[in-house]
């Protein structure tokens, strides 16, 4: 019988995680390799080849490949995308810079808005106009579109975004302009706003379309290269991509709209937390890697979803300081706090950590690859938390002396000992993450005491104990193989597609036959994309939602809608049902509704998802009666103000029901769980280690 194996690949800023999961046996093998930034596919292919050889697995036995990456996000943040041009409606050349004409910091005289991805000299106007009702007010100026394309290509553009006014109502002019550009310049990537985000609000739609155009050539080259290289390894399985919403799609859809993948890496971590959190369905998922840390809320077993986010913020926690991207995404907060985050002193001599990172090259000083600046990983090594002989399962050579030397320079600037400096770095980065979590939880009106902290990533288990204590959380949960949990979470993801369209209708006197046809059109479009994955999908799940508001309001509230059809029965009854759904959501968020105000439905949303048969993941503790071998290591803990003799346990030896008291370390390939003094660990039947914080 042929084994059913899946390959999960998660490219991070420092490490690339590779997992091969055997669905029949419920076992997996994994590897962490340094990310090759100059050519990310190179690290993936070499790491996969080495893992297949080490585990004795035939490449032909892999039937599914799932991939998440931060490559496109990084290109956006670092401004390393394609030279991009914009063709837009006459008079709207500067809409990308005008934005909402709103200062995100009212009293900051030195405020800097994020620079547009397309500079003004690469923005071009063409005649023609579509009205807000979708009717043509003026025909498209075909000659002007062709002239714009010629000008932009001569200026070096390899990608062009086409954004016309009111294209959400009628995209005919955009499609016609796209045909003109493709006929004349077939090698230029073309993006139309209507195909990326077909909803109202011109600035947000333009920003999203331009972002898609900016990363599209990079995505096309990278995904083609990845598919070819995997095929050369003998892996003939389809390549699936993780979307920002936690679902999977096929390569062609990812090549068409790569903007949907901007948050694919962080989404995988949240999905993994939801899947592995058997002991509590209300979780704060904490995924810390080498470059960044991600935090997301899991309510009743489901990650919270947002319908847009801001990329490349000028100020990390300030709304309005980034580029608006209108895609569905798992709601999370991301900060520059990882193992490679660099520690330094600021202008007045205070200790700061991040967001600058040493990345994978040169990496932390202890990697001995040329890095000399002290990082979080160097500090954790000096504190005794990390085992230099077992770092990343021994795949990365570690030099403890280099770590101490780098910290010594910083310690001299601070006037502290190397040990106190190392703990300061550990504590500052933990406080940075706890502060971000407080903001994230408070903004959603949640009580942190309801949640358990579930830690994943190479650094999550290392810092989770003290992050949870700072937040006053009730317990800490660490799943098996926490260091590669995101890559494992990819393999549990369903196929999923979200679609949105603007309808702009009031419920009183609305045409529900038109509304139903709009929903059906979106559902059919989403079904066709899922069908193109080629996966044997057992069942499709369709969910409807809407963006509603009371008449006169300037913001929308996304709310769940009952299943259709809506064109059967009395229109008044349908209106009451939909209005009641909106009012329930409105009261949940704001506690009360305004009296006797009509409700408007602005946008409609459709989610079509399908679980993948046989893709369930299983994890368990070691068998009863396993021989538990402990060692001891001196580890620094602030409660003692010194190093303590600490027991060190190996994760694969711990059976269900095993209890232990802190201080303790639990080592496994890819991560180390810290249990401080006063904490008590328990190995659950699921294989998770549950730590009561005391």
- Indicate whether 592 and 656 sit together in one domain: no
What is the pLDDT at residue 502? Answer: 93
The tokens for 300 are: 């009743």
Q: How far apart are CA 225 and CA 30, in angstroms?
A: 23
Q: Are 66 and 6 contacting, i.e. CB atoms less than 8 angstroms apart?
A: yes
- Residue ending a domain, among 230, 261, 292, is 261
How many Cα atoms occupy the beta-carbon half-sphere of 34 within 13 Å? 19
501 domain residue, yes or no: yes
- Which residues 6+ apart lie within 8 Å of 143 measured at CB? none
Instruction: Give the total number of structural domains in the chain.
Output: 4
Burial of 238 (C-beta count, 10 Å sphere; 0-12/13-18/19+): middle
- Indicate whether 87 and 206 sit together in one domain: yes
- Indicate whether 97 and 206 sit together in one domain: yes
Ranges under pLDDT 50 in the chain? 1
- Indicate whether 101 and 198 sit together in one domain: yes
At 22, which helix (H) or strand (E)?
strand 15-22
Q: What is the CATH number of the domain that holds 257?
A: 3.30.420.40
Report helix, strand and coil shares of the chain as percent, to nearest 5.
35, 30, 40
- Indicate whether 150 and 87 sit together in one domain: yes
Q: Are 461 and 672 contacting, i.e. CB atoms less than 8 angstroms apart?
A: yes
- Indicate whether 115 and 196 sit together in one domain: yes
Q: How far apart are CA 215 and CA 235, in angstroms?
A: 27
Range of the domain at 94: 82-210
- Indicate whether 99 and 195 sit together in one domain: yes
- Indicate whether 526 and 569 sit together in one domain: yes
475 domain residue, yes or no: no
Vertex 110: Cα angle to 109 and 115 (nearest 5): 125
679 domain residue, yes or no: yes
Vertex 14: Cα angle to 9 and 15 (nearest 5): 35
What is the pLDDT at residue 621? Answer: 67
- Residue ending a domain, among 175, 210, 245, is 210
193 domain residue, yes or no: yes
- Indicate whether 100 and 49 sit together in one domain: no
What is the pLDDT at residue 234? Answer: 92
Distance of CA 591 to the CA centre of its chain: 31
Nearest to 189 by CA among 85, 72, 92: 85
Q: What is the CATH number of the domain that holds 582?
A: 3.30.1490
pTM attached to this predicted model: 0.87
What is the pLDDT at residue 1? Answer: 40
3-state secondary structure of 430: helix
407 domain residue, yes or no: no
Distance of CA 510 to the CA centre of its chain: 38
Q: Are 601 and 503 contacting, i.e. CB atoms less than 8 angstroms apart?
A: yes
510 domain residue, yes or no: yes
Burial of 656 (C-beta count, 10 Å sphere; 0-12/13-18/19+): middle
Nearest to 453 by CA among 468, 437, 438: 468
The tokens for 180 are: 């003109």
At residue 415, φ and ψ (nearest 5 deg) are 75, 30
Helix axis angle, 172-184 to 142-154, nearest 10°: 50
67 domain residue, yes or no: yes
Sign of the alpha-carbon torsion through 677, 682, 683, 688: negative
Q: How far apart are CA 633 and CA 672, in angstroms?
A: 13
- Indicate whether 89 and 32 sit together in one domain: no
- Indicate whether 46 and 92 sit together in one domain: no
- Indicate whether 89 and 53 sit together in one domain: no
- Which residues 6+ apart lie within 8 Å of 243 measured at CB? 249, 260, 261, 264, 267, 496
């Amino acid at each position: 019988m042929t084994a059913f194996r899946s390959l999960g690949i998660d490219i991070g800023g420092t490490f690339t995680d590779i997992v091969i999961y055997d669905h029949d046996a419920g076992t997996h093998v994994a590897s962490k390799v340094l990310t090759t930034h100059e050519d990310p596919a190179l690290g993936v292919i070499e790491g996969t080849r080495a893992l297949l050889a080490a585990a004795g697995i035939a490449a032909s036995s892999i039937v599914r490949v799932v991939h998440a990456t931060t490559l496109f996000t990084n290109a956006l943040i670092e401004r390393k995308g394609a030279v991009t041009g914009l063709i837009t409606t006459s008079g709207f050349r500067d809409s990308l810079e005008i934005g909402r004409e709103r200062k995100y910091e009212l009293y900051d005289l030195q405020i800097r808005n994020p620079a547009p991805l397309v500079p003004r000299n690469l923005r071009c106007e063409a005649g023609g106009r579509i009205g807000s009702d979708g009717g043509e007010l003026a025909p498209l100026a075909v000659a002007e579109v062709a002239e714009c394309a010629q000008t932009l290509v001569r200026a070096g553009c390899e990608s062009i975004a086409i954004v016309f006014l009111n294209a959400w109502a009628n995209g005919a002019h955009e499609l016609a302009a796209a045909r003109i550009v493709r006929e004349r310049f077939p090698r230029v990537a073309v993006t139309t706003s209507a195909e990326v985000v077909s909803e109202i609000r011109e600035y947000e739609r333009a920003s999203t379309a331009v972002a898609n155009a900016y990363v599209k050539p990079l995505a096309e080259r990278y995904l083609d290269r990845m598919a070819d290289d995997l095929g050369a390894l003998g892996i003939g399985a389809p390549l699936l991509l993780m979307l920002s919403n936690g679902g999977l799609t096929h390569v062609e859809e990812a090549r068409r709209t790569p903007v949907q993948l901007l948050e694919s890496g962080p989404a995988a971590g949240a999905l993994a937390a939801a899947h592995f959190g058997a002991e509590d369905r209300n979780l704060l998922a904490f995924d810390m890697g080498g470059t960044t840390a991600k935090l997301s809320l899991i309510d009743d077993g489901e990650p919270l979803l947002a319908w847009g986010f801001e990329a490349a913020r000028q100020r990390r926690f300030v709304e309005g300081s980034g580029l608006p991207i209108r895609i569905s995404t798992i709601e999370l907060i991301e900060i520059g706090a990882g193992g490679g985050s660099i520690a330094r002193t600021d202008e007045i001599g205070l200790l700061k950590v991040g967001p600058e990172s040493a990345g994978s090259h040169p990496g932390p000083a202890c990697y001995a690859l040329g890095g000399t600046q002290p990082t979080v990983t160097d500090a954790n090594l000096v504190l005794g938390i990390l085992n230099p002989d077992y770092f990343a399962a021994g795949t990365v050579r570690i030099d403890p002396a280099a770590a101490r030397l780098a910290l010594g320079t910083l310690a001299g600037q601070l006037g502290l000992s190397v040990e106190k400096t190392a703990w300061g770095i550990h504590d500052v980065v933990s406080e940075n993450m706890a502060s971000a979590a407080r903001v994230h939880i408070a903004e959603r009106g949640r009580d942190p005491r309801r949640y358990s902290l579930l830690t994943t990533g190479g650094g999550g288990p290392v810092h989770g104990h003290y992050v949870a204590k700072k937040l006053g959380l009730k317990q800490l949960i660490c799943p098996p193989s926490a260091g590669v949990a995101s890559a494992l979470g990819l393999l549990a993801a369903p196929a999923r597609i979200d679609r949105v369209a603007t309808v702009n209708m009031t419920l009183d006197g609305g045409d529900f036959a038109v509304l139903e046809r709009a929903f059906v059109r979106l559902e059919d479009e989403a079904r066709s994309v899922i069908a193109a994955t080629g996966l044997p999908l057992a069942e499709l799940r369709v969910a409807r939602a809407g963006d509603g508001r009371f008449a006169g309001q300037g913001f929308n509230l996304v709310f769940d809608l009952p299943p259709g059809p809506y064109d059967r029965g009395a229109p008044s009854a349908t209106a009451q049902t939909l209005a009641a759904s909106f009012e329930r959501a409105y009261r949940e968020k704001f506690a009360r509704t305004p009296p006797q105000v009509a409700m408007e439905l602005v946008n409609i949303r459709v989610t079509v998802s399908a679980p993948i048969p046989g893709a369930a993941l299983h994890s368990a503790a070691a068998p009863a009666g396993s021989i538990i071998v402990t060692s001891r290591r001196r580890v620094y803990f602030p409660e003692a103000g010194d190093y303590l003799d600490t027991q060190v346990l190996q994760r694969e030896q711990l059976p269900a029901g095993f209890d232990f008291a802190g201080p303790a370390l639990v080592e496994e390939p890819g991560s180390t769980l810290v249990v401080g003094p006063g904490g008590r660990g328990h190995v659950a039947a699921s294989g998770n280690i549950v730590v009561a914080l005391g």
